Amino acid sequence: MADLKTKISQASVDDFLDGIKNDQKRSDCKEIARMIEKAIGCKPKMWGPSIVGYGEYHFKYESGREGDWMRVGFAPRAQNISLYIMDGFGKYDELMSRLGKHKTGKSCLYIKRLSDIDRDILRQLIEGSLKHFEEKYGPNES
C-alpha cells in the first residue's frame, strides 16, 4: 500500500501565510488560522507545501490502509480557500443552510472570501468537527 503523499513538513506556517500574494486571501487565511487555533488549542503545521493543518489523528480503514492526518485545516487555492472539515457536512444541514456563499466536496468547504460567509457559522462547523474527532479518536495529542 502506498504511503500518503501529504505529510507534516517543517516549513513555517507564518512564512507560508505571509507569502500569499493576494492581499484579501492572505488576510482571510490569517483570520481562519486564528479561528482554528483558538478552537483546537494547538499551533498549526504545514502538511505538504500548501495545507495548513491542526491536530492529528491516526486512521485505519477496513482495507488495511492507515495513516495520520490533520483534524482540521485549510489551503489557499487559486480560485478559493479550501477548508478541510474532515467529518463531512451531512450532519450540519441546518448550519450549512445559513453559512452563506460556498460549495462543498466530501470533506472540503470552498469559499471565495470570508466576507461571503457567516464567520460564526464557520466557527461552529470547525468546533463540531473537532468535537467529532475528540469523541471518535480521543483528545488531540499535538
Domains of the chain and any CATH numbers: 13-132 (3.90.1150.200)
Question: What are φ and ψ of residue 100, in 5° steps?
Answer: 115, -160
Write out pLDDT tens, residues 17-75: 999 999 999 999 999 999 999 999 999 999 999 999 999 888 777 887 777 889 999 99
Instruction: Report d(CA 69, CA 55) in Å as an integer.
Output: 8
**What residues does 8 pair with on adjacent strands?**
47
At which residue does the C-alpha cell 504545514 appear?
46
- Strand 81-85 to strand 103-104: parallel, antiparallel, or no bridges (unpaired)? unpaired
User: Among residues 130, 41, 51, which one has the least CA distance to residue 92?
Assistant: 130
Instruction: Report d(CA 140, CA 134) in Å as an integer.
Output: 7
pLDDT at 142 over 80: no
Average pLDDT, the chain: 91
User: Among residues 92, 87, 90, 94, which one has the least CA distance to residue 131?
Assistant: 87
pTM of the model: 0.91
CA distance to 13, 17, 33, 70, 75, per residue, from 46 (Å): 6, 10, 12, 10, 10
Residue 140's pLDDT band (cuts 50, 70, 90): confident
* Gap between the terminal Cα atoms of the chain: 26
